[in-house]
Copies of this chain bind each other. A is one copy, B any other.
Amino acid sequence: MSQDDTNSWSDKDDQMMRLAIAASCDSRIIARPNPWVGAIIQTYDNEIVSGSTQAPGDRHGEIVALDKLGDRARSGTLWVTLEPCSHHGKTPPCVERIISSGIERVVVGIIDPDPRVAGSGIKILREAGIEVCVGVRAKEVAMDLVGYLISRKLGRPMTLVKLASTLDGYIAASDGTSKWITNEESRLAVQELRADSDVIIAGSGTLKIDDPSLTVRLENRRSPLRVVLGAIPPNAKVHPARSFSGDIKDLLSELGKEGNLMAMIEGGAHVANQFLNQHLIDRLHIFYAPKVLGGGQGLRLFEGQGALTMAMAYEFDHLDTRTHRGDIEVIVQSKETTKLIQEVVTASTNH
């Protein structure tokens, strides 16, 4: 509870924040590298409007909603997933516009970890006499904005490793066969993950074996930047792609500086193992086909150096399990990422 005792919220705040989260979905892709923010305003006479962040340089979610109302925003309440910005970036500070609009109460999901904001947006609003309540559905917002949070806190994109496997942990049989382990439904889910990523990273080994294009084949969805670890054969389907040699930490840092928020790592048990060993897997999606290869010399999910004893195993938190017509998608998150999200949630609810 904050000292000015405004950090309490109602069921209605909870419900309106859900609407704001839903509104943010519209800008999930277009806002990058900015956070995809959703906002809801209820006017004094109970009109409700929503807004979501537009393309970079264009309006943030709060402003979109305010623009819909004009003078009618006066004395209204604003629910917004992320703390309104207080700095001059590509657009003027949202807090100034909120104050001048006459909004009386602002309900925020999470504080913005960007050092240029980091609570100062809330402070300015409160100093202007606006009641501000922070931390409503904070965990849900933080989970949704995890790519943005990691980017601002660690200076690199969120990493998502996707693997397709038999139930007993093989991504290829001993003769090298690996294509179509999982079914069409699973492959469609993978397309969605790709469409939600800014970058796809694959090893050059996978290119030699499978020659994948790594593009998004969903209508009206852009294909992410493709990065290959190692040399790219001239006729590879993955072109246009960037080739990278060196430490993956440097790669992620470079990608982070370019404004990429989400990187998907596909293809390559050795590449996956590199990310694992360096504790650089934020989320791991394993698509298990309900098949068993049994003993033998197949290629496993991770290849290379592993933990030598069970107590040293890399630990994750279970997030979700989905089924795709018999295939089972298990989604886990690294303990470090859970901790980072928790820090944002705690900071928000205590703000």
Contact = CB atoms under 8 A, between A and B. Distances in A.
A134 to B, nearest CB: 29
A284 interface: yes
Contacts of A293: 302, 306-307, 310, 313-314
Nearest to A311: B177
Nearest to A307: B293
Interface in A312-342: 312-318, 321, 323, 326-328, 330, 332
A292 B300 contact: no
Nearest to A313: B291
Contacts of A327: 318
Q: Which secondary structure dominates chain A's binding surface? A: mixed
Given A177-B309, A318-B328, 16 more contacts: A168-B300, A173-B312, A175-B308, A175-B309, A270-B295, A273-B294, A273-B295, A276-B294, A277-B294, A284-B292, A290-B332, A292-B302, A296-B307, A321-B321, A321-B323, A321-B328
Given A288-B330, A291-B313, A292-B313, A169 B169 contact: yes
B168 A310 contact: no
A181 interface: yes
Interface residues of A, number: 58
A212 interface: no
Contacts of A296: 305-308
